[in-house]
Amino acid sequence: MCVQKLVATLGLVLVLVSSGAALAQLPTAAELAADPERSAFGAQVILGTAVGSGTFISDPYSDHPEVLQSLDLRPSYRIGGMPVPTILSIRQTFSLEYTQPENVNGRKWDYGDTQLSLASPSLWVEENTGLRLAAALGLSLPISHRSRIQRKYTSISLAPTLSATFGDFYLGASAGVSKSFHRFTSRVYEEEDLAFDELVGGRCRSGESYCSGGPFLVSWSMSTSGRVAYNFLEHFSATFLLGWDAAWSYETPRDEHTSMLLEDRGRSRLPDQTMAVLDLSYDYSETLAFSLGGATRQPLRSSDDRGARNLLYDGSPRNNYSSLYLDVVASF
């Protein structure tokens, strides 16, 4: 596997591989579109299966299996006439849960927001060291059930990535910031929401058009991640990724409905999240690869808030914070 593929594949990790899985070293849709020898159009299709750690618990009082099938579509287009390689890409995800889902109406089928991205995989390159700066500007279209319930308008994100290769090794560091926009600063429930609401919350009294009382929504979020990859035996690669996310809610409103006894806390910081991924990938051909690994995404602090969790594996398997996955990745 050539080093150029590795750099372009891993360069836009926050935007193109935000799920933490599918780390196969095939060229991404962005790389295919950026190559001037290829068509301006590119695409990547990822079919994934994930099994949560709760699936392996046999205790009937804590049994919580989770088996998910996902489909990730990522078409892209190279924009010509730009001073640096510029790629316009779209990402749409779909999921199907084979086990009993945890939502009010038992819905198994779901889909995420549509993600639009304008990115440059080679915004700046230092010739002597090969140090490379990539950046991506993202915009979401709130079509998912969760975004509709939250009355979300959109979110805007910026994600730079700095990377370098040393022989068969790749090192990368990414950061990102995102701002969300909603109609309301907190969850507002309407009677029709209960038909597809996935969270247990307040219910409206009979005859009311809407009622409030839900948690404050996320206004700002920030993320960082580091990544190490190693190529071996020509078609194999191993990757370790470690990431951290922080988020802040909207400010607590002060109006005629607010009690004077409440403290004005401003923005509230939500519990920090961590992500760890250990992945083994095999390039079967130039267009097809397989990715097998384990991923853990969980709150940074333990449930009793006495210390930090094990970053690689959650000690309470029932939470399904840890999972095993197998992805099939096709690039065109």
- Per the listing, tokens 């618990």 go with 57
Q: Give the Cα separation of 192 and 65 in Å (integer).
A: 30
Q: Is the dihedral of CA 271, 229, 277, 146 positive or negative?
A: positive
- Per the listing, tokens 């919350």 go with 201
**pTM over 0.85, yes/no:** no
Tens of pLDDT along the chain (332 residues) come to 333 333 333 333 333 333 334 554 444 544 555 566 778 888 999 999 999 999 988 777 777 899 999 999 999 998 988 888 899 999 999 999 999 887 656 778 999 999 999 999 889 999 888 899 999 999 999 999 889 888 899 999 999 999 999 999 999 999 999 999 998 887 776 655 554 444 444 555 555 555 555 678 899 999 999 999 999 998 999 999 999 999 999 887 665 555 566 565 566 888 999 999 999 999 999 899 999 999 999 999 988 888 899 999 887 888 899 999 999 999 88
* CA contacts within 13 A on the Cβ side of 75: 5
Contact 185, 214 (CB under 8 A): no
Kindly state the helix (H) or strand (E) to which residue 30 belongs, with its residue range. Answer: helix 29-34
Q: Give the Cα separation of 68 and 99 in Å (integer).
A: 8
Q: Which two tokens stand for residue 269?
A: 């910081």
Task: Using alpha carbons, select from 282, 253, 274, 277 the residue that is nearest to residue 265.
Answer: 253
